[in-house]
Structure 1
Amino acid sequence: MSSTATIDTSPPTNRGMRGALNRDAFRKSIPLLAVRVPAAQTTKFMKSDIVKSRVLDIPKVRTVIPDAQDSKSRLVLLRDKDEESLSPEIRSFIEKEALGFAPYNLELDYSYWTADEILQAVLPEHLCETSPTSFTITGHLAHINLKDEYLPYKYVIGQVILDKHKGLRTVVNKLDNIDTEFRFFKMEVIAGESDFVVEAHEANCKFTFDFSSVYWNSRLHTEHERLVSLFNPGDVIADVFAGVGPFAIPAAKKGCVVFGNDLNPSSAKYMQKNADDNQVNDRVRVSNVDGREYIRQIASEAWHRPFPPLGLPKSSKQRAREKRNQQQAKIDGPATAPDDLLPSRRRIDHFVMNLPGTALEFLDSFRGILAPFKALPDFKTIYDTMPMVHCHCFTKEIETADAITDIRRRAERALGHALPEETTFHFVRAVAPKKDMYCVSFALPRDLALGGK
């Protein structure tokens, strides 16, 4: 007796297909047996325990279809190919309750199969075990890292991924060469448009950027959220390697003010655009300088050119209400000054250093950054507590204790100072075998910041 398992719905094999994808090569006709049932009796027929076990059950295939020969009847597809495979009991029931049997050919084409199923039919057998269907989506763009053995089939792989995922317009493959100065990687388009300007959404913020010229990692969204959760409204944030603003923009929307910096001109450009688009440009100040130079001068900028007093960011409804009130004020007279402004702040509360490959090497830049202000009468009041430093880094040590020892040693060597006792080491993610990402967070030692050892 037939069963679903005996119905082969796998795509036709087309091993070694390269270059252009031939979708017409993926067609399959499967002969089945159908039962013609009066339309009004279809539901009752389908619920019968006798016939229920023989009804076709294949993903994405309708069990009941219109009858091309009679609009008043329906065809119920069975998992059998002929009447002889049915038991006498089932045949007797169908002869009594239905209008008879009819042959039916189930036609499957390229649209039926998943990306993985198509690639399993295209790639050489020795490459099928680890079919390359894993990729990262950013906006309309999919990014895949193809191993060398898959490169001869890259255009077919790219086209299949593009076809099978709605919303995608571009598929790129990462190339070996990395831009060491600005962190973004070289890529090649293997399917779709050469359109790298994408729109991503994270933490209720919209980010626009050129994926080919900036660094963006969707896998870090939980780390972005974690760190921003440590900030309080009104905090002053210095984001040393800010990229396009995955920390800076959500922090600003939370009510912080942010000095955002990135050496990459493209990153700085899009960070400013994202501040504008998310309506936080009054609380994000963008710069485009080397991280070491930035650390050495940002405390001075925060001290001498602080952000003005600002209220908490408003929702779209609040902004609309405020606009109506302003229009009414023109009629009623001048409005009073808002009473919900947060005071201007000259102390930096948090430094964010998300450049895990080299950020630890920049820690020496903190030596003496507050020395120019220590003699000022209000210095001790303003810097009654020291800024927190959140520095991302990689380690080759997999065991937690060994990783902490390694990171502590490297951080203290760069600082020229012991880390405080309350330092935390947060595991972010496993990047590769024997390569983990951490975030070390500590209060900047006061004597170090004032120029001591």
Structure 2
Amino acid sequence: MSEGISKHLFLPKGSGLGLKDGKLDKNTFKKVIPVLAAKVAPEKAGVLLKSPVMKRYSDQADLSPEVLDFLKSQSAELVSHPIEFGYDYWTADDIIHAILPEELEAGAPSGFANVGHIAHLNLRPEYLPYKHIIGQVILDKNPTCRTVVNKLDNIDNQFRVFRMELLAGEPDFVVTQFKREDVVADVFAGVGPFAIPAAKKGCAVLANDLNPSSYKYLTMNIAENRVDSLVRAFCEDGRAFIRNAFNRAYDDPLPPPPQPKPRRSELKEMRAPDTPPLPPAPRRQRINHFVMNLPDTAILFLDAFRGVLAPENAGGRDLSGLYDAASMPMVHCHCFTRELELAKAEADIRQRVEEKLGHTVGEETSFHWVRSVAPQKEMYCVSFRLPHAAAFATS
């Protein structure tokens, strides 16, 4: 890009640009810059581009005699050509810094935690008047993002109450690692910000929280969102919940996911007199995922998985048919680490996880950076398949 173009390509910071009646006006980010161009026949374009005498000039007065002679020899016509740069050209940081007023521009939010398709912000109070605009910009500029949320309050270390506010995109708070036919056990469910959307996807959920107040509002949210048939709520210590979850799903299987509404063509076939009725879908007994979103202490609860499927804990139930080495549930455990380098952070988290499990975790282990919590404190989510040997271990 020539210097003549680049000197025009900036957005004034702290200018309030792009706001119209409190909403984002994308048209205000349009810039049209005229540049000097050489117009030639298509077959000669390559000659001009590869020529050593051609330089990048912004004005006809800057062209050297050598260049002018070369252009003349190629029958090139000098013209003014407009180049348009619109909203799509600018980065999210460019736009956010331009939108905010001058007094807020210096500390503008520039990052977010990313979990699947969800962008998770933690906006300071002074930026809340611009929260929906910031959310829209982040949604526009990140193709894999479909949902932008903001955390409304803090999480207590023991009693987890966590609320999210949708800023932009779809109200879909379930990360795509869950399938609609899955059974999810949410160990620290709070008031249900993940359990209830998972149920709306079709997942069956065992949702638990030790805080009686959280449990109260969890049950209310389950009823208000009409997912009573898919979500079962508990108010227990996390370890007790983990130890009981497998047996509960086995003894009282959860219902299958709701059947989607049939299409018109399918309805016609279903009404035919010789069409046999569809067999009922089987109820669900096997847990596919454990979610442990209490980063301060969640790793400490992993020892509850030791021997959880062994006869001692299963009370005589034979759970080996449901859970072989390939079908053990995935465990998604949020945690903190003081290690700032990725390799060291993964090594630290892995060591602590394996120490509590009493077993190594295998190849199906991933470490997802969530966000920086403090200058020397990072949040991660480690996901691993529960080791078969650990779950069936006898004392």
TM range (shorter): 0.5 to 0.7
SS at match of 2:42: helix
Question: What residue in structure 2 maps to residue 428 of structure 1?
Answer: 367
Give aligned-pair identity as a percent.
22
Determine the structure 2 residue equivalent to 1:17.
Answer: 15
**403 and 320 in structure 1: CA distance in 2 versus 1, 3 angstrom threshold:** same
Residues 160-186 of structure 1: CA distance to partner in whole angstroms, max 9, x if unpaired? 937964999997665664476555356
Letter in 2 for 1:287: R
Superposition deviation, residue 287 in structure 1: 1.5
1:80 touches 1:86 (CA, 8 Å); kept in 2?
A: no
Counterpart AA for 2:253: P
C-alpha separation between the residues in 1 aligned to 2:382 and 2:43?
Answer: 61
Choose from 229, 232, 249 the match for 1:287. 232
Amino acid at match of 2:337: K
The equivalent residue for 1:213 is none
Return the letter of the residue paired with 2:6: D
Name the CA distance, whole Å, in 1 between partners of 2:124 and 2:96: 15
Aligned to 1:305: 252
Contact in 2 for aligned 1:236/1:350 (Cα 8 Å): yes
Of the three residues 378, 401, 406, the one matched with 2:352 is 406
Q: Could you say what secondary structure the match of 2:68 adopts? A: helix
Q: 2:162 corresponds to which letter in structure 1? A: F
1:327 aligns with: 271
Q: CA shift at 1:81, angstroms?
A: 0.9
Determine the C-alpha separation between the residues in 1 that align with 2:332 and 2:116. 28
| Cα distance change of structure 1 residues 16 and 49 upon mapping to structure 2, 3 Å threshold | closer
Q: 2:138, 2:148 within 8 Å by CA — same for their partners in 1?
A: yes
Distance across 2 between alignment mates of 1:239 and 1:151: 32
Equivalent in 148, 153, 158 of residue 134 of structure 2: 158
The answer to whether 1:49 aligns with 2:45 is no
- Shift of residue 265, structure 1, vs aligned partner: 4.8
Match of 1:354 among 292, 306, 315: 292
Counterpart for residue 4 of structure 1: 2
Residues 109, 86 of structure 1: alpha-carbon distance in 2 compared, 3 angstrom cutoff: farther
User: What is the Cα deviation at residue 337 of structure 1?
Assistant: 8.1
Instruction: Compare relative contact order (CA 8 Å, sep 6+) and give the higher one, 1 or 2.
Output: 2
Q: Which amino acid aligns with 1:260?
A: L
Identify unmatched segments of 5+ residues in structure 2: 209-214
TM-score (normalizing by structure 2)? 0.56
When residues 270 and 101 of structure 1 are mapped into structure 2, their CA distance, relative to the original with a 3 A threshold, is farther
Deviation of the 1:407 alpha carbon? 3.8
Kept after mapping to 2: 8 A contact 1:45/1:97: no
The normalised TM-score by structure 1 is 0.51
In the alignment, is residue 261 of structure 1 matched against residue 239 of structure 2? Answer: no
In 2 relative to 1, CA 9–25 (structure 1 residues): closer, same or farther, beyond 3 Å?
farther
**Correspondence 1:8-87 to 2 at 5 A:** 8-11=6-9, 14-17=12-15, 21=19, 32-34=35-37, 42-44=41-43, 46-49=45-48, 79-83=57-61, 85-87=63-65
1:97 counterpart SS class: coil
1:90 to 35, 45, 68: 68
* 1:438 match: 382
Cα deviation digits, residues 330-366 of structure 1 (max 9, x gap): 247xx3885x976x776x5666242242445656878
Q: What residue number does 2:212 align with?
A: none
Tell me, in whole angstroms, the C-alpha distance in 1 between the residues paired with 2:139 and 2:287.
48
Q: Partners of 2:47 and 2:359 in 1: how far apart?
A: 72
* Alpha-carbon distance in structure 2 between the residues aligned to 1:27 and 1:350: 49
Distance 2:224 2:253 in 1: 23
Superposed CA RMSD in Å reads 6.2
Select the structure of larger CA radius of gyration: 1
Match of 2:335 in 1: 394
In 2, distance between residues paired with 1:112 and 1:345? Answer: 49
CA–CA separation in structure 1 for the residues paired with 2:128 and 2:254:
55
Local SS of the residue matching 1:46: helix
